Structure 1
């Protein structure tokens, strides 16, 4: 059986049945992740993926996120899920630069 990420790649993006499956499997986190992908809130820099959340930008690398939800629970947050969806769908903004350089300027 294929996993959801492979289904997204095979379908060439997010079809309505795949969206429903994500929402069924991940509930509120899935809905937030899909909204972030749809809203262009997932960006890939040379060093990290960054997801814009409600109150801040969160760095996502593999199965790690800088958000409080991930730090406290230690499990997949909606930011990580958004990156996984965006990568499988090929639906993220590519930024030619290093996020760490941008972060230094805004902090």
Structure 2
């Protein structure tokens, strides 16, 4: 598994071979992560990465995610995988604002 991360860090791109390895290694989670990257669903705010999921947006910070898969089952979710891949390849949407400001109620 660490070989995938090393090659992504070196290439800084998702080629067909790496995409296949990600799907093979992580199964459905890997496929969902790649689709999210392809669809531009990973945003990097000034404070957090945010991944748009099917039903909500999830905050990802290092090895933590706010989704129920991570919170209740304690395992690596596709949001974490997508964020890690996006970080290594630069395939995220930069947002020049703080995500926490998006959460504050309007005055």
Q: State the TM-score, normalizing by the size of structure 2.
A: 0.93
Point out where structure 1 has 5 or more consecutive residues left out of the alignment. none
Within-5 A mapping of 1:1-107: 3-105=3-105
Corresponding residue SS for 2:104: helix
Give deviations 1:55-89, integer Å, cap 9, x for gaps: 10000001100001101111110000000010111
Give 1:104 deviation, angstroms.
Answer: 2.0
Contact 1:6 1:88 (C-alpha < 8 Å) held by counterparts: no
Point out where structure 2 has 5 or more consecutive residues left out of the alignment. none
Instruction: Report how many aligned residue pairs link the two structures.
Output: 106
Give 1:102 deviation, angstroms.
Answer: 0.8
Q: Counterparts of 2:105 and 2:32 in 1: how far apart (Å)?
A: 28
Give 1:105 deviation, angstroms.
Answer: 4.3
Q: CA RMSD in A?
A: 1.6
Moved over 3 A (4+): none
